[in-house]
Amino acid sequence: MGRKINRSVIFIVACSAVGVILGGTASWADSNRCLQSETPTNTCLTQDPAVKTVEGMSSGLLAGAGAALGATFHLNRKD
């Protein structure tokens, strides 16, 4: 693999990892905030916080990978 492709793959993996971390953290914080509110909603009480966190992590993965792919494609077209 060429040097340019290696950098692109590392960039995509790094952005995906950051997306997973940020998405999981945001979902976890949202579920905690929901449970600590004065009047929690029915969906808040019935949904498992771990499932909500995993959903946030998967959304973060897709967002990070999509952004990295778009940026990599744009940079490769400029060259």
Residue 10: CA atoms inside 13 Å, Cβ hemisphere, count?
7
Cβ within 8 Å of residue 36, ≥6 positions away: none
Q: Is the dihedral of CA 12, 17, 22, 27 positive or negative?
A: positive
pTM: 0.82
Q: Which amino acid is at 77?
A: R
What tens digit of pLDDT does each residue of 4-62 get? Answer: 778 888 999 999 999 999 999 999 998 888 888 888 888 888 888 889 999 999 999 99
Write out the residue range of the structural domain in which residue 54 sits: 3-78
**Considering its fold, how many domains does the chain have in total?**
1
